[in-house]
Chain A
Amino acid sequence: NAGVTQTPKFQVLKTGQSMTLQCAQDMNHEYMSWYRQDPGMGLRLIHYSVGAGITDQGEVPNGYNVSRSTTEDFPLRLLSAAPSQTSVYFCASSMRDRVTYEQYFGPGTRLTVT
């Protein structure tokens, strides 16, 4: 199992450019999510999905779009990048165990918007 993979590892964008951060998991997990990590802020939830075709907003969804056409993939789209979106982005996936969702995190994508 590769677990949760994210591409690219690093990206530099100019203000106004668009791009897609890729996330894939090979564990057949139903739940997937995107977080952003900023210094001194911890991780904050952007969007999540409980299965193919179902997505919902998290705490900080503005400026980001998601879709979930397959169980394996959950891409995050930045439509018009802004410097405030400079951050480290983590994708996570989980399957509900007997009680709760234990999440597996990808290695992250470090994005800089100039």
Chain B
Amino acid sequence: AQSVTQLGSHVSVSEGALVLLRCNYSSSVPPYLFWYVQYPNQGLQLLLKYTTGATLVKGINGFEAEFKKSETSFHLTKPSAHMSDAAEYFCAVSSRVNYGGSQGNLIFGKGTKLSVKP
């Protein structure tokens, strides 16, 4: 069974500092990988995804993530944090194999709340 682990339920950085949010997955076959962001009292918005090809993926708002198969990781980074980045971030996976339409099903990590200090 697939699972997702996000290290650190809360991360605090200063404005302008590097943002690093960690995500590791467990799966017999490398899954599709996603990062979503949730601003307070809102739904989830897709930041970026990895499906195939280049392992460094660029997303919206200056975020990027690198798929490392050997480390089963998909860490999210941003070189310089902005106050508007304060939100909760979720790593998620879905299967590359479509069992009866289940390929759309996402398995989420528990989330990491990012705080940005002025």
Contacts and interface: CB of A to CB of B under 8 A. Distances in A.
A51 B108 CA distance: 23
B16 to A, nearest CB: 29
Contacts, number: 71
Given A42-B111, A99-B32, A102-B49, A50 B43 contact: no
A56 B90 contact: no
Interface in A22-50: 31, 33, 35, 40-45, 48, 50
Interface string A88-105: 001010101001111101
A94 to B, nearest CB: 6
Contacts of B9: 40
Contacts of A42: 4, 90, 108-111
B49 A100 contact: yes
B44 A94 contact: no
A45 B44 contact: no
Interface string B74-118: 000000000000000010101000001111111111110000000
B42 interface: yes
A58 interface: yes
Main secondary structure of the interface of A (DSSP, over half): strand
A71 B111 CA distance: 31
B32 to A, nearest CB: 5
Contact of B104 (A4, A33, A90): A33
Contact of B106 (A4, A54, A103, A108): A103
13 contacts: A31-B101, A33-B105, A42-B4, A42-B110, A44-B108, A48-B101, A48-B104, A56-B102, A58-B105, A99-B32, A100-B103, A103-B46, A108-B41
Interface of B: 4, 9, 32, 36, 41-46, 49, 51-52, 90, 92, 94, 100-111
Interface of A: 4, 31, 33, 35, 40-45, 48, 50-51, 54, 56, 58, 90, 92, 94, 96, 99-103, 105-108
Given A42-B111, A101-B104, 17 more contacts: A40-B110, A40-B111, A41-B110, A42-B4, A42-B108, A42-B109, A43-B90, A45-B106, A48-B105, A50-B104, A51-B101, A58-B105, A99-B52, A101-B103, A105-B36, A108-B42, A108-B43
